[in-house]
Amino acid sequence: MATPEPTPVYGELTRVYTRLYRYFHLSSIVGWDRNAMMPPKGNEARAAAEGELSALIHRTRTDPQLKGWLDAAAREPLDDVARANLREIGRDWRDANALPESLVEAKTLAGARCEHAWRSQRHANDWKGFLGNFREVVKLARQEAQLLADDTGLSRYDALMDRFEPGVRAAEIDRIFGDVKTWLPDLINRAQAKQAVEKVIVPSGPFPVAAQRALNVEVMTLLGFDFAGGRLDESTHPFSGGVPEDVRLTTRYSEDDFARSLLGTIHETGHARYEQNLPRAWLGQPVGTARSYGVHESQSLSFEMQLARSRAFAGVLAPLLGRHFGDQPAFDPDNLYRLWTRVRRGLIRVDADEVTYPAHVILRYEIERALVEGAIEPDDIPALWDEKMQSLLGLDTQGNYKDGCLQDVHWPEGAFGYFPSYTLGAMYAAQWFATIGRETPDLDARIAQGDLKPVFDWMGSNIWSQASLWPTPELVQRASGEALNPNHFRRHLEKRYLTPAD
């Protein structure tokens, strides 16, 4: 009896995922178009077309034969990249198949209803009205978390978070955020005390849109964005979209304030360079995609926080500002640096600086984790919010739901488990720059000369080219020689915000 050839099932799987990659390409481009180009009357037909494509993608990801292929492929001889790709395909398959369609639909519907009502309830400070819809969202999110937990063997919250940060667990987050809570409030106090005596000159506009755009393009080019493989356009809510082969950034211009668009564009350029430098040979397969939301955010925050808001880079930007807008005293590099590193305790997360931002995230993490795990109920949120805002930032939010627990879109939509990624991103970024600084002791001097090669080379070798080859914790270990260590972030903040200027 002849021995059968080993079935090349892995190849079959990769063909399905190549097809999915192409469907996602279509989805990304029409999604970008909807946000950046589409006139209003196109909306209904576009929603129908995108819905049809989503249904097609869902059918493809839940094709019953995939399960058998996954099991069979695991028994085939595969090299390391293929093995990692199979692991990522398995993750995607679980994501797509863990939940019954009825729950996905119910959750989408409840989230859409809650989010839609929230838009006006937030403005009306209407917590009671919001609760009516939100209880259903929480109920369904708990069911979702339980099913994902059953499927993965993780705890409920870990199972939700694993979709955003593969391999990162709440126990790790507790360790890290617990550490931050011991030093952050004091650091904020000291930074504010130091800045209280600093003089800052605010740039004086107007800054014409055409000049802002030209400045953004010049800075993106300096930061290595490849315009032969991407674009910069405008949209109401700036985002980074498109596909790795064609990355589409957007920004928004206000003639009063160029910095918001410039720093936002630099932030998005960080996301863009990650996408533009994913390994070409792996594109089309899950192993070739960016690692996680937190690692992606580490790129945007490396570019915006570590690089663009540094004293060294202020010296690079200053002459560009003068050239595009005409010289003015506010464009002095020391002033720009002071201006772009102001620390202010505020109620709103999206307006927060890098020092106070972690407080906003820790508060949300603690509340949403307890909520998902059933330790608290939606009714308990405002009191917890007030208590934590008081203890972390010393701010009173009692009765102010609008600028408190009603401020974010995540919870109304039922997106739990995402918030930690923001602060993980900031910490990864600090850890990357600590590592680059060890390898390139004159890093600041080189950045001051506009030489960003050490940063790009390091990111290319350690992050961009690695795509999804490793789970996040292993990527961190390989890139920086240690597990995620919040001391790097702390030292970054202390150096930038507590050290007296030269």
Residues forming the site for its own copies (CB under 8 A): 19, 22-23, 25-26, 29-30, 33, 37-42, 44-46, 48-49, 51-53, 56, 226-231, 242-246, 283
Q: Which is nearer to its own copies, 25 or 190 (CB)?
A: 25
Q: Which is nearer to its own copies, 38 or 96 (CB)?
A: 38
Length in residues, the chain: 502
CB of 22 to its own copies, least distance (A): 4
Between CA 228 and CA 210 the distance in angstroms is 21
Cβ neighbour number for residue 321 with a 10 Å cutoff: 24
CA–centroid distance for 136 within its chain: 27
268 classed as catalytic:
yes
Q: Which is nearer to its own copies, 251 or 431 (CB)?
A: 251
- Sequence-distant contacts of 278-285: CB under 8 A, at least 24 apart: 278/244, 278/464, 278/465, 278/467, 279/464, 279/465, 279/467, 282/81, 282/85, 282/467, 283/21, 283/244, 283/245, 284/14, 284/17, 284/18, 284/21, 285/14, 285/17, 285/18, 285/21, 285/85, 285/88, 285/89
Between CA 83 and CA 13 the distance in angstroms is 12
CB of 185 to its own copies, least distance (A): 47
CB of 29 to its own copies, least distance (A): 5
CB of 497 to its own copies, least distance (A): 39
Q: Which is nearer to its own copies, 51 or 481 (CB)?
A: 51
Residues contacting 295, CB < 8 A, separation 6+: 274, 425, 428, 463, 472, 475
Name the residue type at position 143.
Answer: Q
Q: CA-based angle 238:241:243, to the nearest 5?
A: 165
CB of 280 to its own copies, least distance (A): 10
Encoded tokens for 305: 């926080």
Among residues 136, 268, 275, 304, the one annotated as catalytic is: 268
CB of 34 to its own copies, least distance (A): 9
CB of 38 to its own copies, least distance (A): 6
Q: Which is nearer to its own copies, 48 or 171 (CB)?
A: 48
Sign of the CA dihedral 14, 19, 20, 25?
A: positive
CB of 465 to its own copies, least distance (A): 18
Starting at the edge strand found earlier in the chain, the sheet holding 246-251 runs 230-234, 246-251, 240-243
Q: Which is nearer to its own copies, 283 or 395 (CB)?
A: 283
Cβ neighbour number for residue 94 with a 10 Å cutoff: 17
Between CA 90 and CA 147 the distance in angstroms is 16
**Nearest by Cα to 217 from 233, 201, 206:** 233
Give Rg (Cα) of the chain: 23
Q: Which is nearer to its own copies, 21 or 470 (CB)?
A: 21
For residue 16, give Cα distances in angstroms to 51, 55, 93, 98: 20, 15, 12, 19
Encoded tokens for 24: 């996602």
Q: Which is nearer to its own copies, 110 or 247 (CB)?
A: 247
Task: Give the number of C-alpha atoms closer than 13 A to the C-alpha of residue 274, restricted to the C-beta side.
Answer: 30
Between CA 51 and CA 342 the distance in angstroms is 44
Encoded tokens for 424: 């993980």
Question: Would you call 324 exposed, middle or buried from its count of C-beta atoms within 10 A (0-12, 13-18, 19+)?
Answer: buried
CB of 17 to its own copies, least distance (A): 12
Between CA 499 and CA 501 the distance in angstroms is 6
Active-site positions read 268
